[in-house]
Amino acid sequence: MYQQDNYLNAGFTQRFINEATLYKGLVLGRVIAQYKDLLRISTGYNELLAEISGKLRYQASSLADFPAVGDFIMVDRSSNENGNALIHHVLTRKSVFLRKAAGTSHDVQVVAANIDTVFICMALNNDYNLRRMERYLSIAWDSGAVPVVVLTKADLCQAVIEKVAEVEGVSPGVEILVTSSLTKDGEKPIHAYLSPGKTVAFIGSSGVGKSTLINRLLGEDLIETNETRKDDKGRHTTTHRELLMIPSGGAVIDTPGMREMGLENADLSKAFADIGELAEQCKFGDCTHQREPGCAVRHAIETGELEEDRLQSYLKLEKEATYEGLNAKQIEKKKMDNMFSDFGSMKNVRDFIKNKNRRK
């Protein structure tokens, strides 16, 4: 039996409990792990396996509509006594970390939902790469969660202060934590972000020490790390996303290291707030900061205030971001589409209105 504080630790806050009352006869749960076709969910009191209902599957118009780790969902039962539970609804997400689906499709998939803080983990040894950090930050700012940079493996780095200063240069307005899982209390800076009702997600390249850090927070080696793994299959140690409750409060989501970070959804305005601020002083409102006269961005590069590499990185990511919308807007659009689904599609409604006006 779970304690009441475990219920809160798992993130069941009043907001979701209230929304759940809209669905009479169903039980509120949270997705804690994702396997191939099955999901493991927690009701806060019990853990069970669940499948997605046929109707939910049929109504989904994108991979992002499917329940993912961190989602609050409504299921038809609270135990597996009579088989797997069926997930009927996904509750409104307060934040969602999306990535481009693997392969060539333009679809996006959910990495983690309903997270308060995204820990962008980068190791202070050979994984260290400022351009990759800018990419992660652009995606993280778009999620609705607050990004925090976690520089891991401090014990392997001789120049921590210099590295932190460099990272500061590419992450305006973002808190930077330095950790080590080999040093006593090396995970301590993380604890400030963990409290009952809060969920944090760890993302970053494979091998930077995400799972090792989470085991330190858990106080025991609950999840497999590259250190504890016996075989040597594949590149990634963590193979599926998983939500874990921290005994001292809060929940964490471990994710497998990402190799490819498609920029389908990015918020460059926050990740590159420094360039945005400079751009406001450019002579032309639509300045591309390449060779226009009166360009404040180029001027800042000449005076050494801004690094040329950072501008190039910004221009590259801007070009790559095919869609620059915010998730909140996307979710609203989805809601509208669903509301009008009885009429056919939103497009039909628009055409109908257009034609009606034309006839007048």
Near ligand GTP by CB under 6 A: residue from 145, 151, 208, 295: 208
Exposure of 237 by Cβ count < 10 A (0-12 exposed, 13-18 middle, 19+ buried)?
A: buried
**Of 17 and 156, CB closest to ligand GTP:** 156
Near ligand GTP by CB under 6 A: residue from 34, 237, 265, 330: 237
Cβ-contact 100, 262 below 8 angstroms: yes
Q: Does 211 bind Mg ion (CB under 5 A)?
A: yes
**To the nearest 10°, the Cα dihedral for 106, 111, 116, 119?**
-110
Q: Does 238 bind ligand GTP (CB under 6 A)?
A: yes
Pairing of strands 72-75, 27-34: antiparallel
Q: Does 217 bind ligand GTP (CB under 6 A)?
A: no
Instruction: Provide, rounded to whole angstroms, the least separation between the CB of residue 265 and ligand GTP.
Output: 21
Q: Does 236 bind ligand GTP (CB under 6 A)?
A: yes
State the binding partner of 182 from ligand GTP, Mg ion, Zn ion, none, CB within 5 to 8 A by kind: ligand GTP
Instruction: Provide, rounded to whole angstroms, the least separation between the CB of residue 272 and Zn ion.
Output: 13
Give the footprint of Zn ion on this chain (CB under 5 A): 282, 287, 289, 295, 297
Q: Which residue in this structure is represented by tokens 């751009």? A: 279
Q: Does 114 bind Mg ion (CB under 5 A)?
A: no
- The H-assigned helical ranges of 151-294 are 160-170, 188-191, 210-218, 268-271, 273-279
State the binding partner of 207 from Zn ion, Mg ion, ligand GTP, none, CB within 5 to 8 A by kind: ligand GTP
- Three-state DSSP class for residue 194: coil
**Of 164 and 306, CB closest to Zn ion:** 306
Q: Distance between CA 238 and CA 233 in Å, rounded?
A: 11
Q: Does 181 bind Mg ion (CB under 5 A)?
A: no
Binding residues for ligand GTP, per CB under 6 A? Answer: 152-153, 155-156, 180-182, 206-212, 225-227, 236-238, 256-257
